Structure 1
Amino acid sequence: MKNKIYLLIAFLCVFQIVNAQEKPFFESYDWEVNPNYKVDKEISEDMIAVKEKTVTEFYFQEDYLVEFFLEHKVLWLNSDDAIEEFNKIYLPFSSEAEMQVNKARVITADGKIINLDKSKILTAEDEETGNTYTYFALEGITKGSFIEYMYVVKRPPSYTGNKFYIQDDYYKDQVEFDLYSPSNLLFKFKSYNNLPDVERDTLSTDKIHYKLHVSKVEKLENEYQAPYNASRGFILYKMDKNVDNMDVDIISYSNIAETVYASYYPEYSEKTKGLLNDFIKELELPKDADQESIIRKLDFYIKSTVYSQDSYNPDLQDLDLILQTQIANESGVIKLYVAVLRTLNIEHELVITTDRNEMKFDPEFEATNFLTDFLLYFPTSKKYLSPNASGTRYGFPLPYLTDNYGFFLKEGVVGNLKSVTGRITYIEPVKVDEVLDVMKVTIDFNKDNLTENTVHLDRAFGGYYAMNIQPFMHLIQGEDARNDLVDSFVESMTYDFEVEKRELINADAELFGIKPLQIKVDFTTEGFVEKAGRKYLFKLGDLIGQQIEMYQEKERVLPLEGQFHRGYNRTLTLHIPEGYKITNLEDINIDNSYVKDGKELFFFKSSYQLKGNTLTVTANEYYKENSIEVDMYEEYRTVINSAADFNKIVLLLEAE
């Protein structure tokens, strides 16, 4: 669950009830009694949306603002997979919603209409969440059939920021989005990814009508590592103004800042202060600890001892109860971090942002869609912390929350007066020199059996490369478990090996972000050499492990979104057996890179030096850009495939 922003707004001050209203739109809307839907018979698509109409109307009913949400779809199904996917239509029905209209029908290829029997409107319960779902169970669907369904729900209004997708992974012939509101409530819209703008219908007088009608929408298929949802055509909308009070922005980040501040930065009672001091004693902080050491200790301690539940239970947000029970929900965990940092007088800022893989933060459109995930920022070190991600640690927040904009909230104190200021600022990603995989390998040949090697592997993992292991080393107990961990890195090179010596360095969970996790292992293997007549084939590329290969049969359409900047430094030292030489050393040389505006964004470079019988190979690979736009994709793919090409290098050893 993401930690959504829930606003406490005094709506009675914002909205003025409109007495004279037309009836809701849905009451005069219906599907065609005798439909005549058609598609091009030459089309080979599995499915096409012949029509998708969505209407959301904000309406005053019995002195309350409600929302009527209508969805009407006509889908042409032309494959067994499509039929399987859509023979059940799930409706967005919740305990707070009231169904006003729900009906569906199947129109076969020969025009026969099969109306859905009410007995086929069913409910089911999700065993994990306990949520109840309402769905249509459609029957009689064959290839070439149309399914048509329409429903209307009345629900509490949602207007602080809504996202509506226009584009999907199938073709659409006619897409219509309409929003109606009382004449005194204005909405604001923004279209993304080349969609036309939403327009206001100037002919509508008794109510305000906004619309976006698109006759053809191209399908958008997902691609490898693409930010698919962020790339689809969609619109955002929010309630903006009440015409009777045009000076007030109904949804603004300044208002949100005050609401969030009141929730996370309250005045603490004497009881709470005492509990906080007791909690801080449990951290066992050294008297001379610097700020970064304190933050690291706090982060490790909370994530190791406080149990976080995915629940809205108010008790799990009560700071006193959290300090006593060490059980909290996501909001409660943030309150705990903030309270301890304030008590210790550690300067910090609360940051709210969104996952750029789903939707990049737009600094020019204020809506709660962009306020889904929390970070803590420390200006002294310029580092971040993800309070609600137990698998992360200070300095290495969830990577998809970085390289993005965010809303920064800072507490200010002047005398006895406390306040909050907010600003939108870019969240810098972790630099590549902090996310390194450093490998040093030395290889010797058995003089009596050249198919056998003695290998010394020294490998160090820093930053995100260590994050799934090093912070949890206290949980990996016992010599056997730790030996298995070391051996797993040898297995990435070869399965045929016998370990002679192992060493695990910096295996303290609290060293994450300070020192890299390092393994040293000596082993013998016959997995790297094959004899071919009088020649020997040494699989040099296997030393770096199998690499990703990116093939692209079709032209790339979507950008690629990487998690974090990263680098690989590899030094491979091979002691060539006496009386032998390597005849294809030039195969080692690979040099592929991409430079933009004078900056080398990503590269793979491998080369060698030969001194006597010692061959030293370096193979370095760096990625200093997360967002790979389509115009640089081929260069990126070339660099990625360069590592895969190196992995295939086999050196030929021949007698001199």
Structure 2
Amino acid sequence: MNKQQLVLLLLSFLAQKTISQNYNFGKLNESHFEVKLTDLQKKASAAILFKNRTSKFTIEDDREGWFVASTHYKVIKVLNNDGLNEGDISVRIYKNDGKEERVFDIKANTYTFTEGVLKKTKLNKKDIYVNEINNNWNEVSFAIPDVKVGSIFELSYEVYSPFWKIDDLVYQENVPVLKYHSEVFLPSFFTFNRFKKGYLPSQSNDQYHWKSVNISTSSDGGYGSVSHRSGLANLSFDQLESTLDLTDVPALRKEGFTNNIENYRGSLIYELASYEIEPGNKVQISTDWDNVSQQIFDNKHFGKAISDRKFLNAEANRFRQIGTSKSESISKVFEYIKKSMAWNGKNGKFAEKSLKEAFEIGSGNIAEINLNLVALLRQAGFIAYPVLASTKAHGVPSYPTLEGFNYVLAVVFLDDEYILLDASEKLAPPGVLPNRVINWEGLILRKNSTPKKINLFPTIKSRNDILVDATLGADGVIKGKYKQRGTLNEALEMRNDMLLIDKSNLEERKFTEYQLADISNFKIDNTSLDRPFTIGFDFKSDAFVEKIGSKLYVSSTLFLKEKSKILLSEDRLYPIDFEYPKVHRKSVILNIPEGYKVESLPKPVNLTLKEGELSYILNVNVQNGNVQIILEETINTALMRPPSFSNIKKFFEGKMNAENQKIVLIKK
């Protein structure tokens, strides 16, 4: 080792030593209340002063074998009332096949420092509760005692797991983390893949050390170099020791244009790749997407379920005999499954019962519904396949794993094109997916064939067009007609938003949303799912006109203006999600009251991002005593990368400023 390496190693050791010395459970004092926060950190509801995690494989005897022991320690300062909920703690523990994780040695203290007096309040063991969530999860929960604004609390606990897994190292929280330290110890018998999640820079420090432990044993074992000693065996092996240190980790803040924020939380994921407890007997665990997809397809509740489709012969014959085009036949099959089966709200990649049983019952989980759709399409003579997908709530699979998907779609090929289908969405036409599953890519599964990735984002822009034709009276009251028209995904959102609630409630919501004095003649046009969805109503309002002397100041967009800023952060490390490509167009025709003329109009605006992903125009025209304003926003992509954030923020700020302009009318 050269001199430079020795210095770096010493500095690293001292840094870790300082971190561990600064924070020891039960030993916090007045100095911890003097920790300096940046101006940005002070704006948070709380700050994690220190977060520590240690996970290591441990063995005590050859009968119980290896288990994973993890210690958790966290120190949090509450900065305002919103931070008080940081004191509500829950720890999930896994159980399966008669084995379960256990939580030990739960401890917590709250420290308050007022008028030079330090007070410490301990957690009472009686205030710790264990609840069963489901067959695989329990939850240990407790509330940190006596938490107040300005107080600091610490908590510590240990988790013993018989499952050979390392829980994700999560170093980014919803509040800032001033210091993070973790250590993971992996014996050479176990090999793990590591994947980084999120966009924060992080780098583990890995070192190998020779380890020796004594275990109780009753017979010879294959644990490396073993020598017996009165019922004890000495086990020696090489061990990977991986440390991760970070400082001033920013809070993960959710704001506009975000899908599942958990996809971007700074974390280090450990996946068991293989283990070799006995020399020469290596067991491979991790896999690739080909293997994952084949395992899923070969499952009797997936691929085999599609093959057993003779029960659909009668229905398939009817669709084959209908003298319509192929696209019309696909639509009829799609509508038939939608009407015949109701989604029970459960996701999943496997059918829980046979497709025949689910079809006859008329309800099922997402796999049962869309696998039935694939089966009927195939039986009717179409080329159709199941598509594995993941909902936004489930996240984006970052590495090959059976747990990466929780949803099944159908895809049918027609000539050189394909159509994605989800029969659980009653109000969607063919080719339109619900927003919950428009999540990056899916996998088309075919028997004994390599899975094929398929883009789940729409390629055709949806439209949302609003037309307001209004007349302004000299008293400042506006009366007029409102018409809104949506296509594709915009139409689906409108249908789900408006058709599933009572009409009177819908009128009341629009009344409140737009701050209108009156709504009448509310109409909905939803003649067919493959046509635009349209609503319209008459309205009256005086909320968007201000009369000062001889002038009328009119909001240029009336009640259609954006309500608030949607991008507040100065920067952003995760993608901007617009859900799908779209065009939003607002047209306002305002009839000027008799005796008034235009003094000033909003200035035209034309905003375009360099690559053309976003554009916005505002045009104004006066003709025959009418002011005509057209605003059109075009989003040509579903996702944009973080480096574009500053320009995107400026774009929306420009849009907001444009729509804040006034029409000024003056008496002749």
Query: Which amino acid in structure 2 is aligned with residue 211 of structure 1?
Result: S
Are residues 438 and 286 of structure 1, via their aligned partners in 2, closer, same or farther at CA, if it must alter by over 3 Å? farther
Which position in structure 2 is the counterpart of 1:91?
Answer: 91
Q: 1:626-647: per-residue Cα shift (whole Å, max 9, x none)?
A: 4344443343233334443444
Secondary structure of 1:255's aligned partner:
helix
Counterparts of 1:581-600 in structure 2, within 5 Å, are 581-585=597-601, 587-596=602-611, 600=612
**Distance in 1 of aligned mates of 2:123 and 2:512:** 57
Q: 1:402-424: per-residue Cα shift (whole Å, max 9, x none)?
A: 4623333234xxxxxxx232134
- More deviation in 522-531 or 643-652? 522-531
**Distance in 2 of aligned mates of 1:241 and 1:299:** 46
- More deviation in 349-358 or 610-619? 349-358
Counterparts of 1:305-384 in structure 2, within 5 Å, are 305-308=341-344, 310=346, 316-354=352-390, 360-362=396-398, 365-368=399-402, 370-380=404-414, 381-384=417-420
| Contact map agreement 1:396 1:463 (CA 8 A) in 2 | yes
Counterparts of 1:154-553 in structure 2, within 5 Å, are 154-158=161-165, 163-168=168-173, 169-181=175-187, 183-192=188-197, 193-198=199-204, 200-204=206-210, 206=237, 208-216=239-247, 218-225=249-256, 226=258, 228-242=261-275, 244=280, 250-263=286-299, 265-267=302-304, 273-277=309-313, 286-288=322-324, 290-291=326-327, 294-295=330-331, 298=334, 301-302=337-338, 305-308=341-344, 310=346, 316-354=352-390, 360-362=396-398, 365-368=399-402, 370-380=404-414, 381-386=417-422, 394-399=430-435, 401-402=437-438, 404-411=440-447, 419-425=448-454, 427=455, 429-431=457-459, 433=461, 435-444=462-471, 451-470=476-495, 481-482=502-503, 485=506, 492-497=513-518, 499=520, 501=521, 503-505=523-525, 507-508=526-527, 511-512=528-529, 514-523=530-539, 529=545, 531-550=547-566, 552=568
Q: 1:65-96: per-residue Cα shift (whole Å, max 9, x none)?
A: 76424132141445575984455543323444
RMSD value, Cα? 4.4
Are residues 106 and 577 of structure 1, via their aligned partners in 2, closer, same or farther at CA, if it must alter by over 3 Å? closer
Query: Which amino acid in structure 1 is aligned with residue 577 of structure 2?
Result: E
Shift of 1:291: 3.3
| Contact map agreement 1:537 1:651 (CA 8 A) in 2 | yes
Are residues 41 and 486 of structure 1, via their aligned partners in 2, closer, same or farther at CA, if it must alter by over 3 Å? closer
**Distance in 2 of aligned mates of 1:395 and 1:301:** 15
**Distance in 2 of aligned mates of 1:204 and 1:252:** 32
Are residues 245 and 385 of structure 1, via their aligned partners in 2, closer, same or farther at CA, if it must alter by over 3 Å? farther
**Distance in 1 of aligned mates of 2:139 and 2:479:** 61
TM, length-normalised to structure 2: 0.74
Secondary structure of 1:632's aligned partner:
helix
| Contact map agreement 2:56 2:70 (CA 8 A) in 1 | yes
Secondary structure of 1:468's aligned partner:
helix
**Distance in 1 of aligned mates of 2:335 and 2:561:** 34
Work out the percentage of aligned pairs sharing the same amino acid: 12
**Distance in 2 of aligned mates of 1:111 and 1:342:** 73
Shift of 1:606: 0.9
Secondary structure of 2:263's aligned partner:
helix
**Distance in 1 of aligned mates of 2:423 and 2:240:** 42
Shift of 1:450: 6.5
**Distance in 2 of aligned mates of 1:400 and 1:313:** 15
Are residues 423 and 202 of structure 1, via their aligned partners in 2, closer, same or farther at CA, if it must alter by over 3 Å? farther
Secondary structure of 1:618's aligned partner:
strand
Secondary structure of 1:317's aligned partner:
coil
Query: Which amino acid in structure 2 is aligned with residue 187 of structure 1?
Result: F
Secondary structure of 1:173's aligned partner:
strand
Secondary structure of 1:224's aligned partner:
coil
Shift of 1:152: 2.1
- More deviation in 242-251 or 187-196? 242-251
- One of 138, 148, 157 as aligned partner of 1:150: 157
Q: 1:26-74: per-residue Cα shift (whole Å, max 9, x none)?
A: xxxxx97985786472435644343411315387976787642413214
**Distance in 1 of aligned mates of 2:339 and 2:365:** 12
Query: Which amino acid in structure 1 is aligned with residue 388 of structure 2?
Result: I
| Contact map agreement 1:116 1:138 (CA 8 A) in 2 | yes
Are residues 565 and 210 of structure 1, via their aligned partners in 2, closer, same or farther at CA, if it must alter by over 3 Å? farther
Shift of 1:497: 3.5
Are residues 578 and 313 of structure 1, via their aligned partners in 2, closer, same or farther at CA, if it must alter by over 3 Å? closer
Q: 1:188-235: per-residue Cα shift (whole Å, max 9, x none)?
A: 112242443446532246154352321535232414135643333212
Are residues 391 and 87 of structure 1, via their aligned partners in 2, closer, same or farther at CA, if it must alter by over 3 Å? farther
| Contact map agreement 1:283 1:301 (CA 8 A) in 2 | no
Which position in structure 1 is the counterpart of 2:219?
Answer: none
Q: 1:327-385: per-residue Cα shift (whole Å, max 9, x none)?
A: 323443343333223323332343334456875554xx434464344433344343433
Shift of 1:284: 11
Are residues 326 and 164 of structure 1, via their aligned partners in 2, closer, same or farther at CA, if it must alter by over 3 Å? farther
Are residues 328 and 71 of structure 1, via their aligned partners in 2, closer, same or farther at CA, if it must alter by over 3 Å? farther
Q: 1:75-118: per-residue Cα shift (whole Å, max 9, x none)?
A: 14455759844555433234441426333243757899877665
Secondary structure of 1:495's aligned partner:
coil
Secondary structure of 1:201's aligned partner:
strand
| Contact map agreement 1:486 1:504 (CA 8 A) in 2 | no
Segments of 5+ residues of structure 1 without an aligned counterpart are: 1-30, 412-418
Which position in structure 1 is the counterpart of 2:130?
Answer: 123
**Distance in 1 of aligned mates of 2:483 and 2:143:** 59
Query: Which amino acid in structure 1 is aligned with residue 517 of structure 2?
Result: D
Shift of 1:584: 0.7
Are residues 58 and 332 of structure 1, via their aligned partners in 2, closer, same or farther at CA, if it must alter by over 3 Å? farther
Quick check: 1:103 aligned with 2:106?
yes
| Contact map agreement 2:390 2:405 (CA 8 A) in 1 | yes
TM, length-normalised to structure 1: 0.75
| Contact map agreement 1:592 1:638 (CA 8 A) in 2 | no
| Contact map agreement 2:349 2:408 (CA 8 A) in 1 | no
Which position in structure 2 is the counterpart of 1:14?
Answer: none
| Contact map agreement 1:542 1:647 (CA 8 A) in 2 | no
Shift of 1:136: 4.7
Shift of 1:308: 1.4
